[in-house]
Amino acid sequence: MTCMFFTTIHPFGTMITANLLLEKFSQCQCWEERYRCLILLGQKLPALHDALKNNESELMGCENKVWLGYQRYKNNKLHFYGDSESRIVRGLLAVLLTTIEGKHPRELYGKDLLTLFFRLGLKENLSAGRTTGLYLLSDKVLQIAKNALHKCDVVVDT
């Protein structure tokens, strides 16, 4: 990544953990409640600076505009950031960030990054388009992890 803008630190993967999401979503009685929880979760995602909404971070092939980028810290762990024009996709992105944030590329590469979506009861109720977008997001994270294992990118202080 070559952009000099730094992103706002988000609570996903730190204050908002997989266990916290599992607890919250387990209280949902139906898909509509999960949908509402997902939208509220997406509202916690900081807005992405327009300079970071570029061709490099835009995810092609999604129905809505989605951006996913990263920064690599000196300890080689990755900070991910993203945004979407869709409230639901922002929520899905927030769940993904909960899974991947602050991990070393070795912890991500070759892993199933969508397990949490199944555990939250989200995956089976997504439209085909959103499911495709979710797989595209996962594939992009895996590609970032693979590339980060093989080359040096911009390193920022932690």
- 70 and 78 Cβ atoms separated by less than 8 Å: yes
- C-alpha distances in Å from residue 26, one per residue of 15, 19, 36, 114: 18, 10, 13, 17
CA-wise closest residue to 11 among 98, 74, 78: 98
The percentage of the chain sitting over the pLDDT mark of 70, rounded to a whole number, equals: 90
In a domain? residue 130: yes
State the angle between helix axes of 128-150 and 87-100 in degrees (0 to 180), rounded to the nearest 10.
40
Strand ranges inside 5-156, DSSP E: 66-73, 78-84, 155-156
Decide if 9 is inside a domain: no
The encoded tokens of residue 39 equal 């939208």
pTM, rounded to two decimals:
0.87
| 18, burial (CB in 10 Å: exposed 0-12, middle 13-18, buried 19+) | middle
Residue 1 pLDDT greater than 50, yes or no: no
Terminal alpha carbon distance of the chain:
17
Q: Residue 128 has which token pair?
A: 């085909």
Give pLDDT tens digits for 29-87: 999 999 999 999 999 999 898 999 999 999 898 888 999 999 998 899 999 999 999 99
Range of the domain at 89: 18-156
- Tally the domains of the chain: 1
* Active site members: 62
CATH number at residue 35: 3.90.1010.10
